[in-house]
Structure 1
């Protein structure tokens, strides 16, 4: 039951962050990005491995742009931010 409430809280938090202006989405978005793998592993262990894979697919789909950015940074490239995020 705790897993269900944690997932509901994450979805509601993600929805609230999505309604923020783009400049204000960065910090809470990173927090959600860090919390998601914990929930995905929890789902995989508590429910089934295939449910964890479905959750991972949904996560990668939602966070594809930040994941691309962090992947490029990890490889030593200098990716460009969208104009609305530049200072």
Structure 2
């Protein structure tokens, strides 16, 4: 098994553990996972081809749809509400 797959599996377990935390404790590990994901997706894509890279990107967007919506709204100049 390649290192990119092992790292991706560890990332998935870390993301699942972060999702189980209360909202106030999710920010730091969630942002860290959000930043590391594109690097991991590129690594998987370079090892296994663009099809698997697209599949990994779809899974990433599915998991992080709310933070991505928040950052998209901020980029457009809106002030989205943050859950407490």
Q: Which runs of 5+ in 2 are unaligned?
A: none
Q: Which residue of 1 aligns with 2:11?
A: 10
Question: After the TM superposition, which parts of structure 1 deviate over 4 Å for at least 4 consecutive aligned residues?
Answer: none
- Two-structure CA RMSD over aligned residues (Å): 0.9
In 2, the alpha carbon distance for the partners of 1:8 and 1:37 equals 15
Residue matched to 1:38: 39
Structure 1 residue 57, shift from structure 2 partner: 0.6
Matches within 5 A, 1:1-87: 1-82=2-83, 85=84
State TM-score, norm by structure 2.
0.93
Q: How far apart are the structure 2 equivalents of 1:21 and 1:79?
A: 20
5+ residue gaps, structure 1: none
Q: Tell me by how many angstroms 1:11 deviates.
A: 0.9
The aligned length equals 83
